[in-house]
Amino acid sequence: MISLKFPDGSARDFESGVTGLDVAASIAKSLAKKAVAVSLDGTVRDIYDPINADAEIRIITRMDPEGLELIRHDAAHVMAEAVQELYPGTQVTIGPVIENGFYYDFAREEPFTPEDLPKIEAKMREIIQRDSPFSYEVMPRDAAKKMFGDMGEAYKVELIDAIPEGDNIKIYSQREWFDLCRGPHMPSTGKVGKAFKLQKIAGAYWRGDSNNPMLQRIYGTAWATDDQLKAYLHMLEEAEKRDHRRLGREMDLFHFQEEAPGAVFWHAKGWSLFQLLIGYMRRRQQDWGYVEVNSPDMMERTLWEQSGHWEKFAENMYIAETPDDRVFCCKPMNCPGHVQIFKNGLKSYRDLPLRIAEFGKVHRYEPSGALHGLLRVRHFTQDDAHIFCTEDQITEECVKLNEQVLSIYRDFGFEDVRIKFSDRPEKRVGEDAVWDKAEAALKRAVEVAGLTYELNPGEGAFYGPKLEYVLRDAIGRDWQCGTVQVDLNMPQRLGAYYIGADGEKTVPVMIHRAMFGSLERFTGILVEHHAGHLPLWLSPTQAVVATIVSDANEYAETVLARLNAAGLRAGADLRNEKINYKVREHSVAKVPVILVAGKREAEERTVSVRRLGSREQDVMSLDDAIAMIAAEAVPPDMRSNPQATEAA
Ligand SMILES: [Zn+2]
Ligand SMILES: [Zn+2]
């Protein structure tokens, strides 16, 4: 007999060799019907596998996260069968599950075209309809190699060779079609269901190596229910509409070009937005007791050797040699520079915590395939800061940081923030007692804020634990932005110390933190989150005065002067064009307020106010309109502080 423990804590004895399906049936017939796999001590297994030892058991259905993985995995097999049935001579290679779906890489002379996808999809539905049972057998290595070799499946032979000696070679079959696979699988192809869609075709090198042959990758998405699929496809559509690269063009914010991969050409409007972000953060940091510094963009190799970057980060660094035979690196991080500033001049415990901030531009070489608009660049500006403090100050600083970070996200319209907490990894530096302190401080910081966090055990940096802040945007996508890291290592490595209360030289703790993260990336996220409709205070152009007739030109100039005098970023459109044409153009550019002025408005000293995205037009007195726009244009951090508003 074996004892199986259920999620509710109860345990029952079963005959050894019982299957997951038997166990499910012993609980309820309906559960047996829904069961697609079983989790034994956290490992997912086939529902028909005999269970021979005590374990914690959980029955997996299609609605569980593990069930979704299986749906996608099985869908990949089904797609491979469909492709081989439709296009004989195609070789199969690998087909993993990925976020939101799956892909399979095929070797075929002729390229797949988008027109092939509906055909493959139809064939997949046929295979799913057949509801062929999945079954597997373990084969001797040589027999498996010979079998795939005889079939002309050279890639599979190579895959078998890569399986470590002693591991089972498993072959999963669905009717006559089979594939090399570790498993597990659901009981039959029918369980894949109908909620899937093939999305696109892309080239991919065998094993990701550009020296290898190019394969054809077909991507698909699969879900447990039609509603989930619909919601996902809708999200993708929305994401496309919001693509910051397109909006960036329409709003005239920035561009990229081939000569500067991963580097942004900021246009006037984009740069204005960028500077607004910096201005906002600068005000907040001043309130929070930071000093702002600027450290060199290039520093000599020796410094990067001391910091450990030369050894650990060299392949991401831009390196330059000068005629005097010195080697310099473009900074990939600001931290070593800040340690130099800390070290310059003797520091005492009375100087701590010392909070050093910099809008530092860093340079990191990323493979060109990884670059993606503003979201992934090679040259970016961090709102970086390092807090040098004593061990006793860690908690207080972390609690403050956490509150600050969340208040910033709120100001930009992000209410849904998740926190990931990564604690000590196996390979680490520093005493356990200090790690205890650092981890407790970070935990306390999120607890004080009344937040839950997701634990990433062992995922901290080798020098300390970290918090990561993940923003959920308007269409449900998650973006990791800010981080807070407690560092117990770098100050020592770079020889930083302060004189403690006891008169002894003491190594400070260094907290690394960024709130926006990368300003380039944050700008991209903001544009997508708001679909270009930035809040008024962030809009590069806040209002445009557009005339209906040239008779109103003079009045429009007056309106513009009044807007500018109120500190607003505004423009006037006096072109001899139809008003609807003007409104359309400024709407595409996402100008939040258009003030329409005609003859009548000029006579009555009024304006017709049109809001972006609205067809309504409100006629207001010029004074009221300007007061309203000016009030809305006050940045949120200055609204909560009436004094600051006055000063502005
Ligand atoms: Zn498989
Ligand atoms: Zn740092």
Query: CA 555 from chain center: how many Å?
Result: 48
DSSP 45-62: EETTSEE-S-EEEEEEET
- Is there a cis peptide before residue 323, judged by omega within 30 degrees of 0? no
Q: What is the pLDDT of residue 471?
A: 94
Q: 61, 35 in Cβ contact below 8 A?
A: yes
CA distance 385 to 89: 58
Which numbered ligand comes closest to the C-alpha of 177? 1
**Closest by Cα among 538, 406, 422, 419 to 478:** 419
Q: 464, 495 in Cβ contact below 8 A?
A: no
For residue 414, the SS3 value is coil
Cα of 73 to ligand 1 centre, how many Å? 6
Which numbered ligand comes closest to the C-alpha of 44? 1
Tokens, residue 118: 């509906």
Q: What is the pLDDT of residue 73?
A: 97
Cα of 87 to ligand 2 centre, how many Å? 53
Which numbered ligand comes closest to the C-alpha of 70? 1
**Closest by Cα among 259, 387, 383, 366 to 315:** 366
Cα of 97 to ligand 1 centre, how many Å? 10
Which numbered ligand comes closest to the C-alpha of 510? 2
CA distance 277 to 256: 21
Cα of 370 to ligand 1 centre, how many Å? 28
CA distance 538 to 380: 20
Q: What is the pLDDT of residue 641?
A: 56
For the chain, give the percent of residues with pLDDT over 70: 99
Query: CA 81 from chain center: how many Å?
Result: 33
What's the rounded mean pLDDT across residues 327-354? 96
The pLDDT tens digits for 222-246 are 999 999 999 999 999 999 999 999 9
Cα of 312 to ligand 2 centre, how many Å? 15
In the block, tokens 């940081």 appear at 401
Model confidence band, residue 359 (pLDDT cutoffs 50, 70, 90): very high
The pLDDT tens digits for 26-48 are 999 999 999 999 999 999 999 99
Tokens, residue 403: 């509150």
CA distance 198 to 226: 14
Query: CA 176 from chain center: how many Å?
Result: 41
Q: What is the pLDDT of residue 648?
A: 42
Which numbered ligand comes closest to the C-alpha of 490? 2
Cα of 339 to ligand 2 centre, how many Å? 10
Q: 117, 198 in Cβ contact below 8 A?
A: yes
Residues with CB under 5 A from ligand 1 (ion): 181
Number of Cβ within 10 Å of residue 262's Cβ equals 21
Q: State the Cα angle at 248 between 586 and 265, rounded to 5°.
A: 120
Which numbered ligand comes closest to the C-alpha of 79? 1
Q: 418, 452 in Cβ contact below 8 A?
A: no
Say yes or no to pLDDT of 510 above 90. yes
Residues near 167 by beta carbon (within 8 Å), at least 6 away in sequence: none
Residues near 209 by beta carbon (within 8 Å), at least 6 away in sequence: none
466: part of which helix (H) or strand (E)?
strand 466-472
Q: Which residues of 164-187 are buried (b: 16+ CB within 10 A; e: fewer)?
A: eeeeebbbbbbeebbbbbebbbbb
Cα of 577 to ligand 2 centre, how many Å? 53
Q: What is the pLDDT of residue 308?
A: 85
Cα of 420 to ligand 2 centre, how many Å? 18
Q: Can you name the residues that pair with 59 across neighbouring β-strands? A: 38
Q: 36, 70 in Cβ contact below 8 A?
A: yes
Cα of 47 to ligand 1 centre, how many Å? 14
Strands 509-518 and 354-363: unpaired
Cα of 310 to ligand 2 centre, how many Å? 15
Q: 388, 492 in Cβ contact below 8 A?
A: no
Residues with CB under 5 A from ligand 2 (ion): 335, 512
Cα of 499 to ligand 2 centre, how many Å? 23
Model confidence band, residue 645 (pLDDT cutoffs 50, 70, 90): very low
Q: What is the pLDDT of residue 640?
A: 64
DSSP 582-627: HHHHHHHTT-SEEEEE-HHHHHHTEEEEEETT----EEEEHHHHHH
* DSSP code at position 54: -
Least reliable range by pLDDT among 275-284, 309-318, 357-366, 464-473: 309-318
For residue 368, the SS3 value is helix
Query: CA 324 from chain center: how many Å?
Result: 42
Cα of 269 to ligand 2 centre, how many Å? 30
Cα of 101 to ligand 1 centre, how many Å? 14
Number of Cβ within 10 Å of residue 453's Cβ equals 18
Counting beta carbons within 10 angstroms of the beta carbon of residue 111, is it exposed (0 to 12), middle (13 to 18) or buried (19 or more)? Answer: exposed
CA distance 12 to 24: 12
Least reliable range by pLDDT among 426-435, 547-556, 570-579: 426-435
Which numbered ligand comes closest to the C-alpha of 360? 2
Cα of 165 to ligand 2 centre, how many Å? 44
DSSP 9-40: S-EEEE-TTEEHHHHHHHH-HHHHHHEEEEEE
Say yes or no to pLDDT of 54 above 80. yes
Q: What is the pLDDT of residue 463?
A: 81
CA distance 595 to 587: 12
Cα of 45 to ligand 1 centre, how many Å? 12
Cα of 629 to ligand 2 centre, how many Å? 39
Say yes or no to pLDDT of 647 above 60. no
Instruction: State the average pLDDT for the chain.
Output: 94
* DSSP code at position 177: E
Say yes or no to pLDDT of 532 above 90. yes
CA distance 315 to 295: 22
Which numbered ligand comes closest to the C-alpha of 384? 2
Look up residue 429 and give its amino acid: V
Which numbered ligand comes closest to the C-alpha of 136? 1
Tokens, residue 617: 């037009």
Q: State the Cα angle at 578 between 624 and 273, rounded to 5°.
A: 55
Look up residue 636 and give its amino acid: P
Q: 380, 518 in Cβ contact below 8 A?
A: yes
Tokens, residue 95: 């087909």
Look up residue 441 and give its amino acid: A
Least reliable range by pLDDT among 214-228, 391-405, 543-557, 595-609: 391-405
CA distance 164 to 319: 40
In the block, tokens 């990758």 appear at 217
The pLDDT tens digits for 576-606 are 999 999 999 999 999 999 999 999 999 999 9
CA distance 294 to 316: 22
Cα of 203 to ligand 1 centre, how many Å? 22
In the block, tokens 């909560």 appear at 640
Region of residue 458 (phi > 0: left; psi between -120 and 50: alpha; otherwise: beta): left
Q: What is the pLDDT of residue 247?
A: 97
Cα of 600 to ligand 1 centre, how many Å? 73
Which numbered ligand comes closest to the C-alpha of 362? 2
CA distance 578 to 564: 25
Model confidence band, residue 196 (pLDDT cutoffs 50, 70, 90): very high
Q: What is the pLDDT of residue 513?
A: 96
Q: 189, 134 in Cβ contact below 8 A?
A: yes
CA distance 122 to 197: 10
Cα of 546 to ligand 2 centre, how many Å? 48
Q: What is the pLDDT of residue 444?
A: 85
Phi, psi of 11 (to 5 degrees): -135, 150
Number of Cβ within 10 Å of residue 61's Cβ equals 16
In the block, tokens 């513009």 appear at 560
**Closest by Cα among 261, 341, 343, 241 to 296:** 341
Active site members: 335, 364, 382, 384, 386, 466, 512
What's the rounded mean pLDDT across residues 195-201? 97
Residues near 136 by beta carbon (within 8 Å), at least 6 away in sequence: 46, 170, 171, 172, 173, 181, 183, 185
Strands 606-611 and 327-330: unpaired
Which numbered ligand comes closest to the C-alpha of 489? 2
Name the CA dihedral angle for 92, 96, 99, 101, rounded to a multiple of 10 degrees.
Answer: 50
Which pTM was predicted? Answer: 0.83
Cα of 503 to ligand 2 centre, how many Å? 28
